[in-house]
Amino acid sequence: SAPFVIIGAGQAAAQAAVSLRAEGYGGEIVMIGDETHLPYQRPPLSKAFLAGEMSADRLELKAPNFYPDSGIDVRLGTRAVRLLPAAKAVEIDGGIRIAYERALIATGTRARALPVPGADLEGVFSIRSIDDVARFRAVAQPGAKLVIVGGGYIGLEVAAKANRIGLDVTVVEGQPRVLARVACETISRYATDLQLAHGVRVLTSMGVSAITGTERVTGVELVTGEVLPADLVLAAVGAVPNLELAADASLAIENGIRVDAQARTSDPSIYAVGDVASFPSGLYGRRIRLESVQNAIDQAKAAAKAMLEGAVTYDPVPWFWSDQYDTKLQIAGLLDGFDRTECEGDVAAGRFCVRYFASERLIAVCSVNDPKSHMLARRALAAPLAQGSAA
Ligand code: FAD
């Protein structure tokens, strides 16, 4: 019969291939990736790898020989351009069609472009891939002025590492505080103070109206009219799911490719996992789309089982981490919609955790240099799931 075709060759794709073999699937697996690198982990791209503290081969999720040894046909530098559900085929560059018995979409996200004039000037970057980091590092000389637009996790992580390699860094955030979407005020203030203590400037409630320059970037124009001089600009304003293949094939879309708890799309032969997929969370009572390693790995494992007709329900406690300077931030659960917080530990000493509640129910815990609280939180948040399965 036709192979299982995995579209994308990132974190979730690699895990799906590994899990299909582990689950005993002996058929053909084809993996199609438009990058020229074997599947790799992205978190170090804004952390150790950005600062040159980690080599590229250490990013690889599996050693190169794993794929041929496991009979996984990885086609790199190859783009899936069309999904043809009626023909059960994927069209790749050059109009070539690959028939599938089951397809798995793991195309991830791409960095959102800055929605202002000048965003395409040379010297404006985003960091999503190894190649992005290579381009960034080639021009990130000590003393260069870097303006980071966006004070989310990636923006703040890059600020920390850029500061370490000697760049002069300014973070510009449109919201009144950094990490506004993903953390409470205590964490935001802590993260801001950490940057300030290292000499990084942080501007909040500040819009950007244009990137200035003729060929190369020379500055970032703020809504106040002030222009911050810049040799480099990092766009760190979020990610957009790569769902065009699915949308063009008329698969259901709902803030990502709509899948069920078995990672199955609206087409019974097509599955989707990772950053690109939105799934029903029983734990949070709504549909969610996560951009995390946890989700890429665990949902891919679930999808592999489901593709082989195994019984599985994907309903995870989401978790995430971020490293900034010597601070490890860990988040368990989803904290949007909280109405009360509790802080425990010593904020001044940089070791504490914040618990988030909605209607007196614990929904998330953010830990700062406090891995024990993080692990306990994951267990506490999973309790309703354990009860659900026991009932
Ligand atoms: P990806 O890993 O993005 O893989 C998708 C792949 O599909 C890409 O290679 C893409 O080029 C390819 N592709 C897309 N369209 C096509 C097509 N049509 N044809 C062929 N190939 C295609 N998560 C954490 O939990 N903790 C962290 O600290 C953390 N830090 C991060 C730092 C950075 C800089 C970035 C970018 C991400 C970070 N993440 C972190 C998020 C995490 O890396 C992602 O959630 C994870 O990689 C998602 O896996 P995925 O397989 O869904 O997508």
Euclidean distance between CA atoms 332 and 353, whole angstroms: 11
| pLDDT value, residue 388 | 61
Could you count the other beta carbons within 10 Å of the beta carbon of residue 255? 12
Q: SS3 for 279-296, per residue?
A: EEECCCCEEECCCCHHHH
- Residue 115: CB atoms within 10 A of its CB come to 9
Pairing of strands 124-125, 109-111: unpaired
DSSP type of residue 113: P
Give per-10-residue mean pLDDT for the chain (391 aa): 97 98 98 98 97 95 97 98 98 97 98 97 97 95 97 98 97 97 92 98 98 97 98 97 98 98 98 98 96 98 97 97 97 93 95 95 96 96 73 39
Rama region for 316: left / alpha / beta (φ>0; ψ in -120 to 50; rest) = beta
Confidence (pTM)? 0.97
- Nearest 5°: phi and psi at 175? -75, 165
Q: How far apart are CA 29 and CA 153, in angstroms?
A: 35
Among 262, 357, 259, 367, which Cα is nearest to 319's? 367
Could you tell me the distance, in angstroms and rounded to a whole number, from the CA of residue 225 to the centre of ligand 1?
36
Residue 365, classed as helix, strand or coil, is strand
CA atoms within 13 A on the CB side of 260: 13
SS3 271: strand
Strand order in the sheet with 72-75: 72-75, 29-32, 4-7, 102-105, 270-272
pLDDT at 384: 80
Dist. CA 107–CA 8, nearest whole Å: 5
| Residue 214 CB partners (closer than 8 Å, separation 6+) | none
- Report CA(357)–ligand 1 centroid distance (Å): 30
Q: What is the pLDDT of residue 389?
A: 53
Report residues whose beta carbon is within 6 angstroms of any ligand 1 atom: 7-13, 32-35, 42-43, 45-46, 79-80, 106-108, 127-128, 154, 242, 245, 274-276, 291-294, 296, 320-322
| Ligand 1: centre distance to CA 42 (Å) | 6
Centre of ligand 1 to C-alpha 310, Å, is 26
C-alpha dist (Å) from residue 200 to 76, 151, 192, 387 = 39, 12, 9, 46
Residue 301: closest CA among 32, 16, 21, 2? 16
The predicted structure's pLDDT at residue 360: 93
For 140, the 3-state DSSP assignment is coil
Position 391 scores a pLDDT of 39
Instruction: Encode burial over 305-329: b for 16+ CB neighbours within 10 A, e otherwise.
Output: bbbbeeebebbbbbbbbbbbbebeb
Overall size of the chain counted in residues: 391
**Which residues have C-beta within 8 Å of that of residue 43, sequence separation ≥ 6?**
293, 321
> How much is the CA Rg of the chain, to the nearest whole Å?
22
Name the residue of 11, 109, 133, 135 whose CB sits within 8 Å of the most ligand 1 atoms, as the mutation to test its pocket: 11
Atom of ligand 1 nearest to the CA of 273: 52
